[in-house]
Amino acid sequence: MSNTSVSCSFNIPRQRELTGTTVQPNSNPNIVIFGETGSGKSSIINMIAQNANLAGAGSNVRGVTLSNTRYEVGIEGITYNVYDTAGLDEADTGSVPKQKAITQLYGLLKSLNTGVSLLIFCYRAPRIRDTTHKNWRLFYEIICLRQVPIVLAITGLEQEEDMDDWWIRNKGAFHKYEMYPNGIACITATKGKQRRSGGYQLDEEYEESMSKMWKQIGTHCLATPWRVPTVQWFRTVVDISYETRWCRDTIEHRSERTVDAQGVQDLVRRCEMSEDDARALGEALSKI
C-alpha cells in the first residue's frame, strides 16, 4: 500500500476588504480635527466659528474633549461639519485612554457615509513628541490612504515675531518623519489676556490666525469627499492537505490560522509599534 499527499493554502480576510471611494457631495463637507491633548483642537474650532464658547477648551493637563463632537461652522458662505476629537496621546489614567481615543477616531472616520473632505492635524510647538509622526501616519497614511488632504495647524506661536518663520526654521524636523502636509497654518489659538482698556493682547495675531485657517479650509477641502474604507487588520489562512491511500478514497485535512494582514504590518512598520501592541490595537480596531 502507498500513500500520496498534497497540500495548499488560501486566505480569507477577517474583514471585507474595501477600496476607498469618492462620494458625490450632497451635504455639508466633513472636516475632522485630530491631534494630541492640549494641541488646541477645540480652540481652533472656536476661532474659525468666531464663537469662543462653541467647543469646550481648557488649560488642564488632562484632555477636555472626551468623545467625537460635531459642530456646524459657517465660513464665507459655506457650512462645514467640523468634528472635535479626543486627544490621541493620553495615558491610561487620562480623560480618554489612548487606545480608546484611537478607536473612537477610526470609528468616526468609517461612519461618515458622506465622506471626509479634510483632515486638520493639530500640533503645539515647539517640540515634536514621539507620538506625533506615529499618529500622523496611522490616520493619514494607513486609514485614509493619503486620499484626504491634511492641513498641519501649528499652535502656540504667539511669541513669534512672524509666526510663519517658525515653519521655515523647523520644517526639516517634520520632513525627517516624512510629514508633508498639503497646507500649513502657523497660528495662535488664544487671544491672550484681556486689556484694561478693552480687547485682548493678541487680538491682531488671533485675527491673522483665523484668516489663515479659513484660507487653508477653503483651499484644501475636497469638492468630492472620500469615503474611508475598512482596513484589513488580520486575515485567516486555511491550510488544506489531501491524503490518498492506495485503493481508498482521498482524505481531506483542513486547519485555519489567523495571521497579520497589511493593517497590522503597517502599524509595526510605519507606526513603530511592537508586534504585540500592533495586534492588540488591530483587534480593537477590527471590532469597529
Query: d(Cα 228, Cα 117) in Å, to the nearest integer?
Result: 11
Query: d(Cα 40, Cα 152) in Å, to the nearest integer?
Result: 12
- Sign, CA torsion 82/83/84/88: negative
pLDDT, tens only, 32-43: 999 998 999 999
Instruction: Kindly tell me if the per-residue pLDDT of 108 is higher than 90.
Output: yes
pLDDT, tens only, 219-250: 999 999 999 999 999 998 888 887 777 666 77
Query: d(Cα 101, Cα 137) in Å, to the nearest integer?
Result: 16
Give pTM, 2 decimals: 0.85
Query: d(Cα 228, Cα 51) in Å, to the nearest integer?
Result: 30
Whether the Cβ atoms of residue 264 and residue 282 lie closer than 8 Å to each other: yes
> So what's the pLDDT on residue 94?
45
Instruction: Kindly tell me if the per-residue pLDDT of 58 is higher than 70.
Output: no
> So what's the pLDDT on residue 239?
80
Sequence-distant (≥ 6) Cβ neighbours of residue 111 within 8 angstroms: none
Cell of 223: 469638492
Quote the distance between the C-alpha of residue 100 and its chain's center: 13
- Comparing 19-28, 114-123, 150-159, 200-209, the range with the smallest average pLDDT is 19-28
Instruction: Kindly tell me if the per-residue pLDDT of 16 is higher than 90.
Output: no
Cell of 90: 493620553
Whether the Cβ atoms of residue 69 and residue 57 lie closer than 8 Å to each other: no
pLDDT, tens only, 67-94: 799 999 999 999 999 999 999 975 544 4
Instruction: Output phi, psi for 70, to 5 deg.
Output: -95, 135
For residue 126, cis peptide bond before it (omega within 30 degrees of 0): yes
Q: What's the mean pLDDT in 7-12?
A: 53
Looking at every residue in the chain, the average pLDDT score rounds to: 87
Query: d(Cα 205, Cα 192) in Å, to the nearest integer?
Result: 10
Query: d(Cα 103, Cα 24) in Å, to the nearest integer?
Result: 27
Sequence-distant contacts of 41-46: CB under 8 A, at least 24 apart: 41/65, 41/84, 41/85, 41/87, 41/122, 42/84, 43/155, 43/189, 43/190, 44/120, 44/122, 44/153, 44/155, 44/187, 44/189, 44/213, 45/71, 45/73, 45/82, 45/84, 46/189
CA trace torsion 168, 32, 137, 109 (10° rounding): -170
Instruction: Kindly tell me if the per-residue pLDDT of 105 is higher than 50.
Output: yes
